[in-house]
A and B are shown apart, each in its own frame.
Chain A
Amino acid sequence: MNGFDDSVLTLLVVLPFAAALALILWPGEGEQLRPMKWFSSGVALATTALVVWILLRFDYTDGAQYQFISKTDWLEQLGIGFDLGVDGIAVAMLALTAIAFPAAILIGWNVDARSKDYLILLNLLVGGVYGTFVSLDLFFLFFFYEIAVLPMYLLISFWGSSTSFPRFTRSKEYSAMKLVLFLVGGSVLIWVSIIAMFVEADLNTFNLVDLQRVGFDESFQKWVFPLLMVGFGLLGGLWPLHTWSPDGHVSAPTSVSMLHAGVLMKLGAFGIIRVGIQTMPEGAEAWAPLLLGMGAVNVIYGSIAAMSQTDLKYVIGYSSVSHMGYVFLGLATLHTLGVTGAVLQMFSHGIMTALMFTLAGAIYQTSHTRDIGILSGLAKVMPVGAFFFAIAGFASLGLPGFSGFVAELLVFLGLFQTYPWVGALAVIGAGITAVYMLRLLAKVYFGETARRWESLPDLKLNETLVAGTLALILLVVGLAPFFLIDVIREGVRHIPVVTG
């Protein structure tokens, strides 16, 4: 590998942070904002270019488990190093982030209040996300994980919206506080596990690759794995620790919702794989049934709860809870088909939800409501929005031709190889998705156009661009999933406990 390959990951992580710093130092507000938005978009697209480079240079056939490795000593006394590297799973997640990040920045153009600070926080958040996906050192992985989570608090509590429902109220401060308390609570469990691993291994290292080779005691694995499973799983919306997620969506501004459901929730599932399953395979085997049970509840409970929601974003939020359930189910199979499906589902759900939130945001921004009882017949005034929402909806209900179908199919196949009854339940869950998605489409976009909506504008240029790109990706991955599956498979192949 040449020099650039060695530094590409470092560059990828540093770039968003450097951009955040540059924005902080950038003087002025007012008329300076437009260049700042252009600058942020440029940075986001630059990270996309780096990820494309990684995708092209990644060794798909019989490559080493971790590639693009770079090692820098940082705190030798404690064995902490700034070690980066990616496997196939991480590359798939980088691809997701590289799409969601520019999309969120572009949608963030619509934010006018203190948009400089908004952009700074988005950059910090994404820097943390990239860092988590590429870290091969547990200390830094945890560090970046926290950085990814914390900006959410400010983003929601400042730029978010509070909503009154007939029986309760969700203020943005409440949602932001709950989200952070939950995630920090999860972090405590993760941090305890990391320290425990450091001590138990007794190698004076936080290096993940070394720790994965240790082969911890079975009894140790059995008490540490559940901590990781819950600590990380919580960020993935694992039932019953999911309630922060729909509330967070309802309160968050559009581009934050896009990153939240699109990328942040994937950090949790990624953590379960990278830190949980890969270092504690026997622990994973022992606890897989619990993960399976909770994932099944996620799928069914989330979709049933989504059926009766009246707020557009709550429907999408609970749909996320339901769809993340397939990720947990796939992981719990510990079968190649299921785990590959789970990772593909992480990608696919990220794109799909980002698309949905883009369109929900477009409605909310112009109509100032998300109440699906009030909205009706919007297809007449926003045909482009309706078209893309239909695509997102059908992708969500698992229509073949979109990426979600391939992902869910692989999860189903994996489940039927291991736990057929849960597999049947999962297929039924996908069936229920059709009910609430078509209900949403029918209520919001179809029917007579109420007079008050006659003058709503269609999608703006930036929204059309983002929606079009995301929809196209759903379609391309759905029809030609082999690009992504090849890279994911390459990562899954190296996890010893995954069979089949």
Chain B
Amino acid sequence: MGTEVAFLAPVIPAVAFVLILITGRRLPGIAPYLSIAAIVASFVVWIIVFLTFLDDGTGTRSIEWFSVGGFEFTWGTTVDEVSLVMLGVVSFVAIGIQIYSLEYLHEEPRLWWYFAVQSLFAAAMMTLVLADNLLLLYLGWELVGLGSYLLIGFWWERRSAVEAAKKAFITTRIGDVALLIGFILLFRATGTFDISDITQLAHAGRIDETQLKWALIFIFGGAAGKSAQIPLHVWLPDAMEGPTPVSALIHAATMVVAGVYLVVRLFPIYNMVPDALDLIAVIGLLTALLAGVMALAMTDLKRILAYSTISHLGFMMLAVGAGFPGVAMFHLLTHAFAKASLFLGAGSISHGTGETDIREMGGLWRKMPFTTVAFWVGALSLAGLPLLSGFFSKDEILLAVHTGRLNDGFLVVTFVAVAFSVLYTGRLLYRVFLGQLSSSNEDAHEPGIRMWAPVGVFALLATGLGATALEWSQDYTGFVSWVTDSEEGFHINTAITGASVVIVAVGLYLTWLTYTQRRISATAIRRRLGFVATAAERKFYFDEVYQWAINQLVLPMARLTAFIDRAWVNDIGVDGPGKTTRWSGGVLRYIQTGMVYNYALGMVIGAVVLGVIWWSV
């Protein structure tokens, strides 16, 4: 078997989805096992493809989907370093999440439906990852959006969940409109959706520069929507209305990184358009910073994690903008496992305590030692504690900003953003796990094996994966150079690494003083910051502004259009002629009296008038 079996990875879960739909209502018990078996099979496919790939190298194959005129539309897969990394992450994390869900959601009456959508999501996500052309990628892209919608709205009896699902779909849809326009612009310029063909044509200078620039900017709009970049980030925190394992899989580890994946995939083209890269870097950095600030102001455990995800997605975009797609992929990898262990840990906490507000928590390590360790590992990895995997990827991002195409202003702001990620991590960890055991956490307990095993595995990966950054041999000079096929190996810049270690140490110490020792008063700082803190707590008013625009602009416009349609187009334009006809009929009726002498009078008058005219002419 060669790399061509890769297509089986999405097909198997798709089949499972159909099977679960057919059997689900009658045999709900088998749905979870169908789904898990399918995703395990996909992972096996990944292993096979990966091992073959190491010998054979990149492989592409496609079949015709349909053709119109001279245009051919295809379905096909590309197996290369980038898609393999992503496929591995998706299938592996999905296995852990689905096993975890077995216990976490075991009381749900609609569990079969949950696993059906999980399978649908897995199929769509792997389609997106493997697609060799933009059209198939768009198909997967939209279907993961559907999966996300259905899972956020899994508890659809809750109005808030329904609204969050709708918000997520429509917000990302705004990005998707831009995305589709971008894809079509590329098609218009090249006559194909095939990514490698488009790349070649672009490099051959066959695409008009302005058109290429706008196409790439529009495509980034779609990536920004999916990857929750400012100003389209508002849906992701609300998406936490879904079950926690869903947040871990879709809204932390896999789907939300699709935008990053897309720009990495198209990086050879983006690399030709500096303006587009600048835009990506600016949006990415802004997102990393603002989301970090907001994470510090939130009080809901899952929302803190959501803003942390947004912030890290911003870091990944920043790396792409700096010209280092491999670094973005590396951070994607380390973030996926760390965030999965964090979200699943958060799930275990809310499962064990029934609480999600961190102000109601404290001292949880006494009750949930295992979850505490896993959670700490994930969180500290993302904060960049040396030797954990996040340390390596964050270091590479800082280096990328420093050595890449961006100026040093970016580096300074990046350090600030990194500092915030340390601060909110410290606040979260100390507040939830250390200190006095909160009275509402008295009954907290560790979950069963199906929940803690996945958490443990992800935490282990969050610990050890950083080693892949290093140079192992002459053939493997570190993850980044492997992914992007470049010569550059891993190296350490003393000043930057040193600064980042100092930031981590100082940040963790300061938060320790604040939240454990209580030697610094958080409330005093909060008061000192005044409106800045208020703005952060109100999420910088993005939601308010959007709500205002919807209430004051969109809905009135819709009502006005409907009113115009009924009152003007219909009542005047359509009924008007009808009423005029009836009215004139009513008036003219009086001429037709049916009395002979009236008509005789008319005849006489007519004759006289005609006679006068005749006589006078």
Binding site for B on A (CB under 8 A): 168, 178, 181-182, 240, 243-244, 247, 301, 304-305, 307-309, 336-337, 340, 377, 379-380, 394, 397, 399-401, 405-406, 409-410, 412-413, 416-417, 420, 423-424, 427-428, 430-431, 434-435, 438-439, 442, 445-449, 481-482, 485-486, 489, 500
Contact = CB atoms under 8 A, between A and B. Distances in A.
B501 interface: no
Contacts of B562: 305, 308-309
Contacts of A448: 157, 159
B188 A416 contact: yes
B20 to A, nearest CB: 13
B184 A416 contact: yes
Contacts of B557: 304
A417 B162 contact: no
Contacts of A337: 68-69, 71
B561 interface: yes
Main secondary structure of the interface of B (DSSP, over half): helix
16 contacts: A181-B578, A182-B574, A305-B562, A308-B558, A308-B561, A308-B562, A309-B562, A340-B68, A399-B142, A410-B68, A413-B188, A427-B177, A430-B177, A446-B162, A447-B162, A448-B157
A442 B162 contact: yes
A489 B66 CA distance: 11
B93 to A, nearest CB: 24
A400 B569 contact: no
Given A401-B143, A416-B188, 16 more contacts: A305-B561, A307-B555, A336-B68, A337-B69, A379-B156, A397-B173, A413-B187, A427-B180, A434-B170, A446-B153, A448-B159, A481-B65, A482-B65, A485-B68, A486-B66, A500-B69
Contacts of A489: 68-69
Q: A-B pairs with the 5 shortest C-beta distances?
A: A336-B69, A308-B558, A400-B139, A307-B558, A482-B66
Contact of B157 (A400, A406, A428, A447): A447
Contacts of A428: 177
Nearest to A387: B21
Interface of B: 64-71, 135, 138-139, 142-143, 146, 149, 153, 156-159, 162-163, 165-166, 169-170, 173-174, 176-177, 180-181, 184-185, 187-188, 554-555, 557-559, 561-562, 565-566, 569-570, 573-574, 578
Contact of B143 (A397, A399, A420, A435): A399
Between B67, B156, B188, B578, the greatest number of chain A beta carbons within 10 A of the residue's beta carbon is seen for B156
Contacts of A430: 177
A444 B570 CA distance: 28
Contacts of B143: 399-401
B334 to A, nearest CB: 31
Contacts of B177: 427-428, 430-431
B157 A438 contact: no
B307 to A, nearest CB: 25
B566 A168 contact: yes
Contact of B170 (A240, A438, A482): A438
A412 B135 CA distance: 13
Contacts of A413: 71, 184, 187-188
Contacts of B174: 431
B68 A400 contact: no
Given A243-B565, A308-B562, A442-B163, A401 B139 contact: yes
A434 B559 contact: no
Given A413-B184, A416-B184, A417-B188, A243 B146 contact: no
Contacts of B574: 178, 182, 243-244
Contacts of A399: 142-143, 146
Contacts of B162: 442, 446-447
A247 B312 CA distance: 51
Nearest to B142: A400
